[in-house]
A and B are shown apart, each in its own frame.
Chain A
């Protein structure tokens, strides 16, 4: 007997007797099939995140999905089919390649290269010392300066980074979290020195500290004082920077740390809701700031699961924002997101294969309706990408945008029995995680209890095991391996001179500036840190303008807030 369809507006049509007859024949034929036994066949019945899969999806699997309530139309609540009525017809996604290495001058050169080749916006990658709040001459910085990104010690470096670039015209995304408030202050100060007012600046600051404790581990201060810093930043940007996206709530790093798709979705949205709650608790009106919150997701290799994840993210967010947080402005209901292809899906073996992986992952992001996209370069699993490999990655997006025609129709997979059923499954799993987090008392409490860290470690180990047993295949790694593969791809090298040069330049800066002004600025900042009613941002801008270094500002703040240490969870 087929399932009764209790809603006349459900996605699944009422089956006719002829259709039911066909179904019975198919079931009989399917039952006689003999399963494959080759490598990779051990996991045909589940997604990469272990979501169980049927052989085929049909009307009965989507019978309870309501057309108006659950799907609606693009640009209509709950935005399952996208936030824009015309999808990519009105506007393509922003092609935004993340870049940064060596010194500010070297990175500035790469930015000019990317802008000349048709990239729309900039995205700053900072090096590890900068991300952790250390100056380039700090002992903790040894060996790390300029390696994973660009070293920015002070306003002086930020000025060089944007030399010759019209900061009023481009948008800039900055991936920085622990010291995000300082990077923002530097960006504002650098623009204002060029005569561009802060109100004119467009871009996004990642500033998502919760996922640092959960997955990426680039924290400085403990979670509770850091939530105050975030509320201050959001409050400041809401008031003074109308074009700035205040925070980019990120699942990317959660996924890279080994989570499943549903964990990435649930933990990221839970973080987002925690920020909303913190701002509301600080007295802000939800519609005053929610429209400029944005998200950042991973696009992994399981094509349909990723598309379902993106669609579910929009639906869950819209529902919570309207129903739980009482937002009234449709902009507050719309989840906007950036996507990056999965670094963890890339392999060092046969690195050219990564170009192909990236193309599929990029297509999933676009079919999922992303607002902007970074495609990884094939060599990033071994080093920073060369100019050539970055160009291929950007060309991949251009082929996708202009040749494949996947952009011509909005949400082309909407109504697919499989994609709709999987979208619903993602939503159910996310809601179940929200309930578990609530049992801990909230996101911060769950972090302190090691909940997220344990869930992710479990999932990543399970995944790794499935590769070991060859239940899953990774081409070039556990199947189709080439013996004695020549390692002949060019790699970009960051030299020791970069570190010495950068350390010398920050020391030179300290000797030349007005030391008393720096001292006064830092002292006023510390007073503000102790007073929750005083917004930190103007004080940070003063410190930065006096050329206080990143390390000095962080040290001043840490003397009030302390530094976070993690209890390692295996």
Chain B
């Protein structure tokens, strides 16, 4: 639920650095659970540049819609095209098949991001 190799935002996005200056961005397991069945992910264009905290798209589930925000300054290298046909990957495997963006990091990782332990504490506080 809270893999150690990713960093988390308070808005329930994650960023997973791949070690070569790139990273994967998506929403957390907790976020997908709160949304329920995802039916559509609206994503930015390849090449778009964002600052930490910028809105980069929306996730639509059967019940609701949620805006999603960039964890750390970056440029979009690739979007997960599989999600067009299989939005349910976000529910089934948020940190794996459900990734949304592959990005090139712009500078150091946002220092405000949470590690797994801090994020787990945040989630358990929110769900009680």
Partners in one complex: no
User: What residues of chain A have their CB less than 8 Å away from a CB belonging to chain B?
Assistant: none
User: What residues of chain B have their CB less than 8 Å away from a CB belonging to chain A?
Assistant: none
